[in-house]
């Protein structure tokens, strides 16, 4: 990649920042060049983000209809999956899956919610209810 | 409390090589990021079908996290003080103590919990590396190599990031060099590092590692393209995943190929060696071919171009060819004895 070919596509996923790339200068030596992003990278990142977003809104919809508890929605809000939430809270997966049942979730003690609150960085009062829109 | 070690932030393409280059340079031995990357023999390729990340096989263009720290220490003959912690508070106290003693400290952390990362870059990746060089009130002064400027991070967030759980969990890992050598014998260290890297890339006994791994990935794409059940859903996701690993995850472009090319070029100048210069050019061409692959693959997974796996496999096979040329040249680089 020539120095002049380092992409400067200003991609949204960089949030206005620039990354460093190595490219070849006129005299054949390598130089470090700042880049505002490349379209190909933006597409790849965006499709990963879309997948996360899809899971999140899907969980919200199911929580709304009573098929799952708000907890599952908040898990996706933090871009976590069941395995990671289990590791972070120390609860077993099946126990978390049980907490995804609205009836069980409604009766969760403050102590258990506090552990979810700590793991997700969301306060316990919020974890009890579902936000109005995803 | 305010406390800062005089430290110059320098942006890098990759977090781990950036941290190592900065720590060694800070200790008095100037070391560029590509040189840290190359000396650690970090360039690699692996397609591991039985290790899966959210349902997709592991694709790596470099050695696993931690390899650059270990590799640089080995080639420079230096020792690193490394500590992990069972309790988060202990980890933070140890960090404060090390800063108080005047050390610039490397940390492994999660990306997700670092507040200074842009929203779109925050994923649960636990093997990010950064440097802390001071404190100012409740904030830590952070030199994160992938950022343009030094940043700040509050104590609670840093603690959460260091002690995030899950795959590759850092357990608060912190490290700083105990002693840094005053000079580096390039004529010995560089050929030795290239040799190690050559064995992995060109002489791997495993079919999914090195040049063979690259060709295997091409074959897999062709096979997925023929599979009616996986062609439409799985294949585009797999392609997006490959491109992300190659371009997004702090690689300096083209899955570290340009960074290694920069290392070879710098070595060619240091050792005045034409073979290294030619190998650097071949590696650059390999990088350009990888970029071509990323461009076409990303368009195909977006549906802007018709899906054509044999064509992608052909580009990938050209990547392997170009890298093969570089490694054939590098095979002849012999360590020189100190006279």
Domain with B129 in it: what CATH number?
Answer: 3.90.70.10
Give me the number of domains chain A comprises. Answer: 2
Instruction: Say whether both A51 and A111 belong to one domain.
Output: yes
**CATH code at A89?**
1.10.260
pLDDT per residue over B232-277, tens digit each? 889 999 999 999 999 987 787 899 999 999 999 999 999 999 999 9
Q: Check residue B231 and give its pLDDT.
A: 86
- Asked if the structure places residue A20 within a domain, the reply is yes
In a domain, B50, yes or no: no
Q: pLDDT value at position B184?
A: 92
For residue range A94-120, list pLDDT tens digits in order.
999 999 999 999 999 999 999 999 999
> With an 8 Å Cβ cutoff, is B298 touching chain A?
yes
Q: Could you tell me what percent of chain B has a pLDDT over 90?
A: 83
Pairing mode, strands B43-53 and B56-62: antiparallel
**A91 and A124 co-located in one domain:** yes
pLDDT band at B335 (very low <50, low <70, confident <90, very high): confident
Of B41-55, B75-89, B98-112, the poorest mean pLDDT is in B41-55
Give the structural domain span for A63. Answer: 47-128
Residues A75 and A95 in one domain: yes
* Phi, psi dihedral angles at A76 (to 5 degrees): -70, -30
Sort out which chain B residues have CB atoms less than 8 A from A77's CB and list them: none
With a CB cutoff of 8 Å and minimum separation 6, the contacts of B22 are: B9, B10, B12, B104, B131, B143, B145
Angle separating helix axes A70-77 and A39-64, nearest 10 degrees: 170
Q: Are residues A12 and A69 in the same domain?
A: no
Residues B166 and B197 in one domain: no
Whether B142 is covered by a domain: the verdict is yes
Q: Is residue A73 part of a domain?
A: yes
Residue A65 and residue A32 share a domain: no
Asked if A87 lies within 8 A of B266 by C-beta distance, the reply is: no
Q: Tokens 């209810």 identify what position?
A: A129
Beta carbons of B11 and A121 less than 8 Å apart? no
pLDDT one-digit tens code per residue, A2-37: 999 999 998 888 888 899 999 999 999 999 999 998
- Determine, yes or no, domain membership for A61: yes
Residue numbers of B between 191 and 250 with CB closer than 8 Å to A: 236-237, 240-241, 243-244, 247-248, 250
User: What SS3 state is found at A66?
Assistant: coil
Report, in this order, helix, strand and coil percent for chain B, each rounded to 5: 50, 15, 35
Q: Are residues A28 and A72 in the same domain?
A: no
> Does one domain contain both B160 and B266?
no
Chain B residues closer than 8 Å to A39 by CB: 298
| A133 found inside a domain | no
Which residue's entry shows tokens 């052909």? B314
Q: Are strands A30-35 and A19-24 parallel, antiparallel or unpaired?
A: antiparallel
Distance from CA of B205 to the nearest CA of A (A): 31
Whether B73 is covered by a domain: the verdict is no
Our measurement of the distance from residue B11's CA atom to the centroid of its chain's CA atoms, rounded to an integer in Å, reads: 14
Phi, psi dihedrals of residue B109, rounded to the nearest 5°: -150, 170
Q: How many CB atoms lie within 10 A of CB B269?
A: 12
Look at residue B60 and tell me if it is in a domain.
no
Which CA distances in Å does B312 have to B132, B220, B221, B253, B292?
A: 42, 11, 8, 18, 9
The Cα–Cα gap between B282 and A21 comes to 18
Instruction: Tell me if B46 is assigned to some domain.
Output: no
Across B103-128, average pLDDT = 93
Final residue of a domain: which of B153, B179, B205? B179
B residues 23-82 near A, CB within 8 Å? 33-34, 54
Mind listing the pLDDT tens digit for each residue in B144-175? 999 999 999 999 999 999 999 988 899 999 99
If asked whether residues B223 and B300 sit together in one domain, one would say yes
pLDDT number for residue B253: 84
CA atoms within 13 A on the CB side of B254: 28
- pLDDT mean over B218-243: 92
Q: Is A16 touching B (CB cutoff 8 A)?
A: yes
Tell me how close the Cα of A60 comes to any Cα of chain B, in angstroms. 20
B121 band by pLDDT with thresholds 50, 70 and 90: confident
Give the percent of chain B with pLDDT over 70.
99
Question: From the candidates A30, A34, A120, which should be mutated to test the interface with B, based on the most B CB atoms within 10 A?
Answer: A30
Task: Lowest mean pLDDT of B51-55, B237-241, B246-250, B294-298, name the range.
Answer: B51-55
A62 with A97, same domain? Answer: yes
CA distance B148 to B312: 34
| Closest CA relative to residue A22, chosen from B37, B308, B113 | B37
- Among the candidates B179, B198, B233, a domain finishes at B179
Same domain, A71 and A30: no
Q: Which residue has the tokens 């802390």?
A: B132
Domain shared by B17 and B106, yes or no: yes
Residue in the block written with tokens 């406390």 = B3
- A72 lies in the same domain as A27: no
Q: Are residues B203 and B325 located together in one domain of the fold?
A: yes
Q: Do A88 and B165 touch (CB under 8 A)?
A: yes
The pLDDT of residue B337 is 56
Q: Check: CB of residue B106 under 8 Å from CB of residue B159.
A: no
Does one domain contain both B165 and B248?
no
Q: Is residue B69 one of the residues assigned to a domain?
A: no
Q: Which two tokens stand for residue B246?
A: 């190659």
- Asked if residue A134 is part of any domain, the answer here is no
A7 phi, psi to nearest 5 deg: -65, 140
Q: Are residues B125 and B164 in the same domain?
A: yes
CA dist B337 → B77, B187, B189, B199 (Å): 17, 8, 11, 21
Structural domain boundaries enclosing B282 = 186-330
Same domain, B156 and B10: yes
Collect all residues of chain A within an 8 Å Cβ-Cβ radius of residue B120: 12-15, 45, 49
Rounded to whole angstroms, the Cα distance separating A41 from A44 reads 5
Q: Inspect the interface and report whether the beta carbons of A30 and B262 lie closer than 8 Å.
A: yes
Residue A42 lies in a domain: no
pLDDT at B332: 87
Contact yes or no for A21 and B302 at CB 8 A: no
Total tally of structural domains belonging to chain B: 2
Residues B190 and B324 in one domain: yes
End-of-domain residue from the set B179, B205, B232: B179
Q: Are residues B262 and B291 in the same domain?
A: yes
Query: Which residue in B253, B274, B319 has the most chain A C-beta atoms within 10 A of its own C-beta, making it the best mutation to test that interface?
Result: B253
Rounded-to-integer distance, Cα B15 and Cα B106, Å: 11
Q: State how far the Cα of A70 lies from the Cα of B238, in Å rounded to an integer.
A: 31
CB contact under 8 A, B258 and A30: yes
What are the angstrom distances between the C-alpha of B285 and each of B41, B280, B295? 20, 9, 15
B158 & B278 share domain: no
Q: What is the pLDDT of residues B172-205, one digit of tens each?
A: 999 999 989 999 999 999 999 999 999 999 999 9
Q: What is the pLDDT of residue B5?
A: 80
Residue entry with tokens 């870059």: B121
Taking only the tens place, the pLDDT of each residue in A65-89 is 999 999 999 999 999 999 999 999 9
CB contact under 8 A, B147 and A17: yes
Contact B24, B79 (CB under 8 A): no
Question: Looking at the predicted structure, is the pLDDT value of residue B336 above 80?
Answer: no
Torsions phi, psi of A112, nearest 5?
-70, -40
Find the range with the poorest average confidence among B16-20, B116-120, B155-159: B116-120
Q: Which of residues 57-86 of A touch B (CB under 8 A)?
A: 78-81, 83-84
Residues A64 and A112 in one domain: yes
For residue A65 the two structure tokens come to: 């209809």
- A29 assigned to some structural domain: yes
Are residue B10 and residue B159 in the same domain, yes or no? yes
pLDDT band at B51 (very low <50, low <70, confident <90, very high): confident
Residue B31 has pLDDT above 60, yes or no: yes
* Model ipTM value: 0.91
H-type helices in chain B, by residue range?
A: 15-26, 33-39, 67-76, 88-100, 155-162, 186-202, 210-226, 234-243, 257-271, 274-302, 309-330
Q: Which tokens go with B89?
A: 């508070």
Neighbour count for residue B329 (Cβ, 10 Å): 20
Residue A91 forms part of a structural domain:
yes
Q: Measuring CA to CA, which residue among B222, B224, B223, B217 is closest to residue B246?
A: B217
* The pLDDT value given to residue B1: 62
Q: Are residues A61 and A28 in the same domain?
A: no
Answer whether residue B111 shows pLDDT above 80: yes
Q: What is the DSSP string of B308-337?
A: -HHHHHHHHHHHHHHHHHHHHHHTT--PPP
pLDDT value of residue B339: 47
């Amino acid at each position: 990649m020539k120095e002049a070919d380092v992409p400067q596509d200003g991609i949204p996923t960089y949030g206005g920042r620039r990354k460093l790339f190595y490219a070849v200068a006129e005299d054949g030596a390598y130089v470090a060049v700042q880049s505002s992003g490349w379209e190909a990278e933006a597409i790849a990142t965006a499709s990963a983000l879309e997948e996360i977003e899809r899971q999140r809104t899907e969980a919200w919809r199911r929580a709304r209809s009573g098929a799952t508890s708000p907890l599952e929605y908040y898990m996706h809000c933090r871009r976590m999956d069941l395995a990671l939430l289990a590791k972070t809270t120390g609860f077993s997966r099946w126990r978390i899956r049980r907490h995804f049942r609205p009836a069980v979730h409604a009766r969760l003690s403050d102590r258990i919610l506090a552990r979810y609150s700590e793991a997700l960085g969301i306060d316990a009062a919020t974890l009890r209810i579902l936000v109005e829109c995803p | 409390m305010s406390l800062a070690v005089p430290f110059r932030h320098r942006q890098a393409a990759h977090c781990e090589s950036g941290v190592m280059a900065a720590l060694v340079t800070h200790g008095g031995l100037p070391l560029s990021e590509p040189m840290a990357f190359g000396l650690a023999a970090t360039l690699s390729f692996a397609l591991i079908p039985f290790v899966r990340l959210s349902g997709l096989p592991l694709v790596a263009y470099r050695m696993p996290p931690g390899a650059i720290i270990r590799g640089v220490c080995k080639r420079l003959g230096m020792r690193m003080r490394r500590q992990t912690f069972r309790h988060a508070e202990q980890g933070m106290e140890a960090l404060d103590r090390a800063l108080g003693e005047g050390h610039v400290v490397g940390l492994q952390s999660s990306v997700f919990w670092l507040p200074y990362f842009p929203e779109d870059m925050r994923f649960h990746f636990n093997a990010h590396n950064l440097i802390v060089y001071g404190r100012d009130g409740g904030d830590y002064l952070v030199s994160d190599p992938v950022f343009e400027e030094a940043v700040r991070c509050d104590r609670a967030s840093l603690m959460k990031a260091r002690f995030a759980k899950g795959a590759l969990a850092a357990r608060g890992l912190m490290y700083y060099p105990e002693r840094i050598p005053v000079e580096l014998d390039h004529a010995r260290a560089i050929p030795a590092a290239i040799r190690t890297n050559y064995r992995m890339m060109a002489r791997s006994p495993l079919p999914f590692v090195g040049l063979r791994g690259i060709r295997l990935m091409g074959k897999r794409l062709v096979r997925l393209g023929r599979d009616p059940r996986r062609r439409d859903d799985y294949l585009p996701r797999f392609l997006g995943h490959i491109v992300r690993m190659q371009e997004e995850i702090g690689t300096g472009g083209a899955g570290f190929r340009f960074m290694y090319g920069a290392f070879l070029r710098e070595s060619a100048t240091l050792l005045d060696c034409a073979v290294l210069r030619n190998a650097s050019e071949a590696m650059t061409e390999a990088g350009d071919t990888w970029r071509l692959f990323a461009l076409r693959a990303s368009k195909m997974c977006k549906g802007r171009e018709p899906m054509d796996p044999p064509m992608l496999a052909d580009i990938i096979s050209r990547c392997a060819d170009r890298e093969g040329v570089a490694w054939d040249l590098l095979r002849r680089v012999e360590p020189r004895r100190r006279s």
